[in-house]
Structures are given as C-alpha cells and as structure tokens.
Amino acid sequence: MKTGLSRRRLMRLAAAGALAVPLAPSLAFPVRADTAQQASLTDADKVDVARVEDYLNGLTTVKASFQQYTASEGLAFGRIYLRRPGRLRVEYDPPSEIILVADGLLLSYYDAELNHIEQVPLNLSPMWFLLREKVKLGGDVTVTQFRRQADSLLIGLVQSDEPDAGSVILEFGDKPLELRQWTIVDPAGTEVRVGLYDAVFGGQLANELFATPRKKSQDRR
C-alpha cells in the first residue's frame, strides 16, 4: 500500500465528494485558520448550526453528477456516490480515468491509465467528519465562521487539533435546508469548489461501488 499521496492532492481529490448545486463563487468566502478559533455565535446561530448537524446526520445515501472547479485546472465533471458511514466513490468523466473510493477505512486514489493506486487512512480526508457515523459540528471539529443570508447559510470548519491543515466551507440553502456546495481550502489558500446536480438522496447503493480499487494484472500471457 502506498501512502505518498500529498495533502494538497488529497484535498483536491477528496473535494469531489461534495454535495452541492452548480457553483456560486459570489457566495464563497476565504477560510484560513492558524488556530482553531471558535466563531462567535449568537443563540440564533447556534440553533441553525444544530439544524445543520441534524440535517447532515439525516443524509444516508447520495448519488449525483458533479462539477469541480479549481483556478489552476478549471472544470472537471463526473459522478459521485456516498453512503454513510464511511463510503464514498467518485468517478471522473473521460478522458480522465481516475477513481476515488472510501471503503470505510481507507481512501484510495486509482489512475487506471497509469495503473497506479495510492491510499491513505480515511480520517486524513478533509471531509472525514461528514462520512462518520455521527456528524458533530463541535469537539474535534471547530466552527470558525458562520454567515446567514436571505436564503442561505455558510459555515466554515477546521479540524480542532490540526487547524492549519486546511478548512472546509459548507453552503446550505434554507427553507428547506439543503446542502448546496462545499469548498476545500488548503494551507496555501488554494480553493477547490464542487457542485452537484441531478442529485438523488436516499435509496440503496450497492456494496460493489465502494470496493477498494485493484491494480490491473501485469500478466500479458
């Protein structure tokens, strides 16, 4: 098993596990935390954060098409499958042959064109908190920013014990509450935004979708 996957590459790839609508750059805001400083929340903010936590815990399965954007690489498209706890599959559209799979323990990056696989523990994924059995926006996750707009909520998050490792921005539509977008920001300030469309929430997803990728046999006989 290889573990040489860089944190920046991991962030870029794991960001594709986002649940969102088409990107809305004007709603995004930068998040960069050198210390895990809790946002100052009003009582109304705390109620909304608790609503978000309950909503995320209610997400069992998701399948959708997605679009991913980075300033350096532009747009990429594909399909995402998510099943809590711990399961995620991301398939990029051709010509890319990249697959990203979380099987409950490991996050695997497989490039079929190169027949190359790299793996890291799932808890190194920037979105590990969403794949856990119990989502908790507190304790080992710190809410660093909160913003309420007319029809949306934005929440900035970092890992409490490693705040300089990067951050996550979650954007929700409100009334009804719905996760629209998230943005991952790496320690250098590089942003990866992902949106989804044609999303289906709930339903069954086959175990085979989350099987760890295997390298192709090199036997040419």
Closest CA to 143 of 125, 163, 123: 163
Model pLDDT, residue 53: 94
Model pLDDT, residue 83: 93
- Pair of tokens at residue 61: 């399965």
Model pLDDT, residue 218: 65
Model pLDDT, residue 188: 79
Model pLDDT, residue 219: 56
Question: Is residue 99 a contact partner of residue 119, using CB atoms and an 8 Å limit?
Answer: no
Alpha-carbon gap, residue 106 to 125, rounded angstroms:
9
Alpha-carbon gap, residue 6 to 187, rounded angstroms:
12
Closest CA to 21 of 204, 206, 205, 196: 196
What spatial distance separates the first Cα and last Cα of the chain, rounded to whole Å? Answer: 26
Question: Is residue 142 a contact partner of residue 168, using CB atoms and an 8 Å limit?
Answer: no
Going from N- to C-terminal start, the domains of the chain cover 7-202
Structure confidence by residue, pLDDT tens digits, 196-220 = 788 888 889 999 999 988 888 765 5
Task: Write down the pTM of the prediction.
Answer: 0.77
Residues pairing with 157 in the sheet: 143, 168
pLDDT in tens for each of the 221 residues of the chain? 444 445 445 555 545 443 322 333 333 444 444 557 888 999 999 999 999 999 999 989 988 888 888 888 888 899 999 999 999 999 999 988 889 999 998 889 999 889 999 888 887 777 788 888 899 998 888 999 999 988 899 999 988 887 777 788 888 888 888 888 888 887 778 888 888 788 888 889 999 999 988 888 765 54
Whether domain 7-202 has CATH 3.90.1150.10:
no
Model pLDDT, residue 13: 53
DSSP for the chain, please give it.
------HHHHHHHHGGG---SS--GGG------SS-PPP---HHHHHHHHHHHHHHHT--EEEEEEEEEETTTEEEEEEEEEETTTEEEEEEPTT--EEEEEESSEEEEEETTTTEEEEEEGGGSTTHHHHSSS--SSTTEEEEEEEEETTEEEEEEEETT-GGG-EEEEEEETTTTEEEEEEEE-TT--EEEEEEEEEEESS---GGGGSPP-PPP----
Model pLDDT, residue 9: 53
| Burial category of 20 from C-beta neighbours within 10 Å (exposed 0-12, middle 13-18, buried 19 and up) | buried
Structure confidence by residue, pLDDT tens digits, 171-181 = 888 888 888 88
Closest CA to 155 of 166, 169, 175: 169
